[in-house]
Amino acid sequence: MTKTYLKYKTRVTFLAGFILVSWVGLCFRLFQIQVLHGNQYQKKVVQQSQRKQNIPANRGNIFDRNNKPLTRNIIHYTLTVNPKKVTDKIALANAISERTGQPAEKYIKKINSKSNFEYLERNLQRETLGLLTDNSFSGLNIERKYKRYYPHDNIAAQIIGYTNIDDKGISGIEKDYNSFLMGIPGWVYKTKGLSGKIQHKSGMPFEEPINGNNIQLTIDLEYQSILEGELLRRQKETNAISATGIIMDPQSGEILAISSVPGFNNNYFAESKPELHRIRAITDQFEPGSTFKVVSAVAAIQNNDITLDEEFNCENGTYQYYTIPITDHEEYGMLTLPQIIHKSSNVGIVKMVELLGPKKLYNMCREFGFGSKTGITLKGEVAGKLHPHKNWSSVSLGQIAMGHEVGVTAIQIATAYCAIANGGYLVKPRLVKQIMNYENEIIYSEESTVLRKIANKETMTEVRKMLRGVIR
């Protein structure tokens, strides 16, 4: 051995040992990273380099019975920002301000946020954005979405309802059938490029969204427009607070038009009073007045308690009924039941119903469906008010015959009159005709349902003759 080797032997041995130990340690660490904890680190790499992005499904649309669209989905854009990645905050704020007309300070405040995410604007049109893109400014993200639009403005607004800013139904059909309309979102994995921008590359896993189902209503858009126009005209002529109307097919129970005025434009629902949004035909109860006299007429004829030529003394328009005075709008003498209905005589209907008694009148009210829900597939329907006949006072029989002391909804009245029109069958009112999936396959349909038979055909024929006499 040379003197030089002996001189540096200790250093060489130490250096060689250090290299050997380091190499063993490095091999062990590599084994630990790649084998023992390989899956864990692989997930972290994927998380840092890839991002799973949801692909929203198109919301299903609503159509009338003739397939005329009552809703549409229009494209809009949402601007978001990661404040920590914005390099030129003032330029970004000014660029958006120039396009929206909003003050730049509004956006500067959001861009100066300490969070990682801020909404800058929603519901912008492509024309508003102009040449502004994701790549225009660092930290800016422009997302394409769909916004609900109602092409007929006020027409059928209460029935259709509306969605919120997240495209979730919060009123009407939009709310009650939201689970059918909203669809199932898809997803796609995107990778982060050298600049830090998230971008899509071919070959990355993805799943297509499933678009929402389309709903076809029984509503006829033309009838609906006419009904709303006529209701508005009569409301103004009579200075009424509101007016409600229904057009219904008496054979099938299909509702061709249903509305209350004043209404609202569901494209701008936030600008109208909430009480205008509800479907008054099913949510509001009222005393029906003379429209309820047909119930007593049907009960009397069906039970053979009177004959059609039997006369009742109408006391020249004034009658003391226990503790309350009953009056007519004109002085009538002797009237038959058809004449009582023709002239809408309060005195006559009270005298006639005394021959029936409380139990028979109550039973017929229940047969017509008063005091219970009709079963229409809309949430918010009320049952109305009809007390059991055992709880009636001495004047309740006459009061109910005149349409007082009873609470009904417009849909109950419409359903009752349909039973008179179709020969005695109480049908369930229908508003939804069918629901089709994105491939136009029918996944749900409502069939006509007869709830029960109220009276025979001959009885209803006579009552229809009486009602025709009212409008002659």
List, as one string, the DSSP characters of 62-88: EE-TT--BS-EEEEEEEEEE-GGG-S-
Q: For position 120, what pLDDT does the model report? A: 84
Q: For position 83, what pLDDT does the model report? A: 86
List, as one string, the DSSP characters of 133-173: -GGGSTTEEEEEEEEEE-TTTTTTHHHH-EE-TTS-EEEHH
SS3 label, residue 52: strand
Query: CB neighbours (10 Å) of residue 196?
Result: 10
Are the C-beta atoms of 278 and 288 separated by less than 8 Å? no
In this structure, what are the phi and psi dihedrals at residue 437, rounded to the nearest 5 degrees? -80, -175
Reported as a single tens digit per residue, the pLDDT across 37-83 is: 666 666 665 555 566 777 788 899 999 999 999 999 988 888 888 88
Q: For position 337, what pLDDT does the model report? A: 95
Q: For position 265, what pLDDT does the model report? A: 96
Q: For position 42, what pLDDT does the model report? A: 63
Q: For position 124, what pLDDT does the model report? A: 82
Q: For position 37, what pLDDT does the model report? A: 65
Query: CB neighbours (10 Å) of residue 172?
Result: 24
Q: For position 7, what pLDDT does the model report? A: 61
Are the C-beta atoms of 380 and 431 separated by less than 8 Å? no
- Predicted TM-score (pTM) of the model is 0.81
CA-nearest of 242, 224, 205 to 64 is 224
Reported as a single tens digit per residue, the pLDDT across 133-160 is: 777 788 888 887 788 999 999 999 999 9
Q: For position 199, what pLDDT does the model report? A: 56
Q: Which residues of the chain have pLDDT under 70?
A: 1-9, 33, 36-51, 190-204
Helices (H) and strands (E) in the chain, counts: 17, 21
Q: For position 125, what pLDDT does the model report? A: 80
Q: For position 194, what pLDDT does the model report? A: 52
